[in-house]
Amino acid sequence: MKRLIACAAALAMLAAPGAWAQNFDDPEEFAKQREQLAMTPMGPEGMPWEQYLEDTMADTAQHAKEGPYTVCFSNAGVNNPWRVVGWNNMQAEVELHPEIAELVHVDAEGSDDKQIADISDLLAGGNCDILIVSPNTTAALTPAVERACEQLPVIVFDRGVNTDCPVTFIHPVGGYGFGIQGAEFVAENVEAGANVLMLRILPGVDVLETRYSAGRRIFEEAGINIAGAEFTDGDNAKTKSIVEDYIARGQIDAVWMDAGATAVAAIEAFEDSGLEVPVFVGEDQQDFLQKWQELGLTAIAPTYPTYQWRTPIIAAVRILEGEEVPGPEWVLPQPAITADNLDQYINEGMPPLHYAMCGCEEMPGYPERWGGR
Amino acid sequence: MSSETQDLNAVRARRRLPRINPIWFVLAALIVAIIVYNPNFVQPVGYMNFLKRAAPLAILAAGQIYVIVSGGFDLSVGSTITLTVIGSSMLLNNNPDATWWVILLMYAMGLAIGLTNGLVVSILKVPSLIATLGMMITLSGLALMWSGGAPRGYLPESFRYFGRANITDLPLINILPISLIVLAVVVCLLWWLMHRTNYGRLVHAVGDNPRAAVLAGVPLMRVRVSAFVISSLTAVTAGILLGGFAGVSTDVGRGFELQAITAAVLGGAQLLGGRGSVSATIAGALTLTAIFTLLNFVGLPQPVREVVQGLILISAVAYAMYRRRHAVH
């Protein structure tokens, strides 16, 4: 039976050669992000959404104009809880700026084609003073962003594009950084030779692939055995089933995840099997943080902070007022939640998948706007 | 079919050894393969976890078979599951006292969904594929509107009991998941209704030849609508179990409609109606879950896993079709 399945596997692999052309395991980028994690950010203390790690500024004098401003935003989608929190952040940020008369939001619903059409509609409308783009995918949106750059100042955030024409590209440290924070924590808390289970959402997404390759690199360096790397599709039931199956096969000393939405389901698999929950890497979702506190886990929550959704609005206003902004890349700090500061991020009134690193606690409409009470 | 040939078939059937649906052999082979990879599977915790995991799909498929046998499809069940989980979490909001009325309300919602599906198909004459596709889209839109795209509440332990809890310290089997008891009750009920009552015969008649059924005085509309209602109610049940098993997520039911139909087909159901059995459908659901579990254990890379999964599905159905063609002539 084993041989039969192995044969089928070999055949299938022959049939799909070279599926992975893109490089998600770049040692230079890995080293750069590892360095950035250790940097002390510049900018106002306690407001990480205005801070920056790289000290190069973009001159914006040519874009200065009189207010009030119309800010246009082409959004890749509001199709997952991370983006829901981020989009709420952005709308709240707009309310803090009386200079902004209107935020025009078009939602591409996760489609490259729609986003390309959205951008050309916004340009044709001619009402935008500045365009913010959160690209659905990097390569597909590059030409559309280049065309927009010819007409007005552009800000890109979250995922990037393959052009340096935008005034600035706003993003936190990145996927390698996320992978590094979690994996280093695991390496510090288990012995060499321990078994780690790596849970991933899905293959082929750049920000997730880099998290994984960084995690893998660190585990290999530390001599930690990767018991398996599984795709969960971000599905709670599937996650729990996979973890149960691994538990049935042998000892798991740590769980590393590339995103934390299904972390609680994975923890429950240990609980329901009557086992101690091992060293755990989640993310900053409320349900995970609360579970962590309740069970007193040895855990860490790297973040891909949703406060980055505030920054494009801040940047837009500064650019239109002719003030300089960090550019061509505005690299935001990317903190992790640890046992030391866990308490300050827990709020039981917030929904389970609220991302605690939202920087939104002082914003108008908190907590109701974010679904809290 | 004339009564003469029917008699002839009956005689032939009696002469042959009792035929076992081939899906049970496929299932047995998969179980053996799982045990090869994971000997712990023979322990109660191993197979009980497996059955617990299979329960929602098995229940859902046992409902779907009613619609399939009556000659339709129900694509709305996945969204019904999602809406059940999202709706329950929103209404409960971590308040365990509300568990019972929320569950009742969810069944009322399932009843309404099933009635609507059935009436749209029967009265407006919309093909069930389209009617339930529309319902699927509508319901997932409703779930999205209600939750705002991210889960807003938690499910208290009292609600999660059905999908998560186990009775422990039992003699012999050691643990018994509550969801397995739910599965057993639902399956017995649905098996009895399909194979031991007049209603079950009417469902078969409607799917086999609706015109003949009408001429024979079968209340076509009532039979069809009730099949959709049964399917929706099983979807609510599956939703309660899934929410209990793994908690709240906004896409919990995604893909379940096709899995349920696949399970029914694996169990030998005829896609245009008139033929299908509850027990073989359950075997189909267990087989599908066994395929997923086996591929987890084998540890193949994901893309290979999908290829293997697809091939196993096609071969199993092709084999079932082959057996059917060569069975009665």
Q: Say what the pLDDT of residue B300 is.
A: 72
Lowest mean pLDDT among A334-343, B82-91, B193-202, B305-314: B305-314
Angle, alpha carbons B60-B63-B65 (nearest 5°): 110
A35 & A166 share domain:
yes
Residue A43 and residue A142 share a domain: yes
> What gap in Å lies between CA B183 and CA B57, rounded to an integer?
10
Contact B151 A268 (CB under 8 A): no
Instruction: Specify whether A88 is located in the same domain as A188.
Output: no
Confidence at B10, pLDDT banded by 50, 70, 90? low
ipTM of the complex: 0.82
pLDDT exceeding 70 applies to what percent of chain B?
92
Please provide residue B151's backbone torsions phi and psi, each rounded to the nearest 5 degrees.
-60, 140
Answer for the pair B70, B224: CB distance below 8 angstroms, yes or no.
Answer: yes
CATH number at residue A197: 3.40.50.2300
Q: Helices in B165-219 by DSSP H: which ranges? A: 178-195, 198-208, 210-215
Dist CA A30 CA A237 (whole Å): 33
Does some domain include residue A95? yes
Cβ-contact B243, B159 below 8 angstroms: yes
Q: What is the dihedral of CA A288, A294, A298, A304, to 10 degrees?
A: 20
Contact A235 B247 (CB under 8 A): no
Q: Can you give the pLDDT at residue B251?
A: 83
Residue with tokens 């027990």: B279
Question: Which residue in the set A78, A203, A272 is minimally distant from B302, CB to CB?
Answer: A203
- Contact state of B246 with A240 under an 8 Å Cβ cutoff: yes
- HSE at residue B13, side-chain half, CA atoms within 13 A, is 9
Closest approach of A86 to chain B, Cα-based (Å): 12
Burial of A123 (0-12, 13-18, 19+ CB in 10 A): middle
User: Are residues A63 and A84 located together in one domain of the fold?
Assistant: yes
Query: CB of A61 within 8 Å of any CB in chain B?
Result: no
CATH architecture for segment(s) B20-269+277-328: Orthogonal Bundle (1.10)
Q: What would the pLDDT profile of B79-117 be if each residue is shown by its tens digit?
A: 999 999 999 999 987 788 999 999 999 999 999 999 999
Q: Is the pLDDT of residue A21 over 60?
A: no
Integer Cα distance of A369 and B185 in angstroms: 43
Is there a domain that residue A351 lies in? no
pLDDT over 50 at B1, yes or no? no
For residues A193 and A44, membership in a common domain is answered with no
Q: Which of A78, A241, A371 sits opposite B152 (nearest CB)?
A: A371
Q: What is the pLDDT of residue A2?
A: 52
> What would the two tokens of residue B113 be?
């969904």
CB A54 within 8 A of CB A325: no
Closest chain A residue to B297, measured at CA: A245
Is A166 inside a domain boundary? yes
A348 lies in a domain?
A: no
Task: Answer yes or no: do A40 and A159 share one domain.
Answer: yes
Distance CA A198, CA A227 (A): 8
Do A264 and A311 reside in the same domain of the chain?
Answer: no
* A229 in the same domain as A154: no
Nearest-CA residue of chain B relative to A11? B304
The answer, yes or no, to whether residue B5 has pLDDT greater than 60, is: no
Of B135-144, B148-157, B200-209, least confident by mean pLDDT is B148-157
**Domain range enclosing A238:** 175-300
Residues A136 and A185 in one domain: no
Residue at which a domain ends, from A282, A300, A318: A300
Do A233 and A194 fall within a single domain?
A: yes
The Cα B329–Cα B326 span in angstroms is 7
Give the Cα separation of B303 and B144 in Å (integer): 30
Report the number of distinct structural domains present in chain A.
2
The whole-number pLDDT of residue B315 equals: 81
B234, B235, B240, B246 alpha-carbon torsion, rounded to 10°: 130
Tell me the mean pLDDT in the region B153-168: 90
Where are chain B's structural domains? 20-269+277-328
Confidence of residue B308 (pLDDT cuts 50, 70, 90): confident
The answer to whether A287 contacts chain B (CB < 8 Å) is yes
Contact A352 B252 (CB under 8 A): no
pLDDT confidence of residue B149: 77
Among A8, A80, A231, beta carbon nearest to B308: A8
Q: Tokens for A227?
A: 């018991």
CB-count exposure of residue B145 (10 Å: 0-12, 13-18, 19+)? exposed
Q: Summarize pLDDT for A240-252 with one digit per residue, the tens.
A: 999 998 898 889 9
Joined tokens for residue A172: 């936190």
**CB-count exposure of residue A36 (10 Å: 0-12, 13-18, 19+):** buried
Q: How far apart are CA A283 and CA A352, in angstroms?
A: 12
- pLDDT, tens digit, 9 for 90 and up, residues A302-320: 999 999 999 999 999 999 9
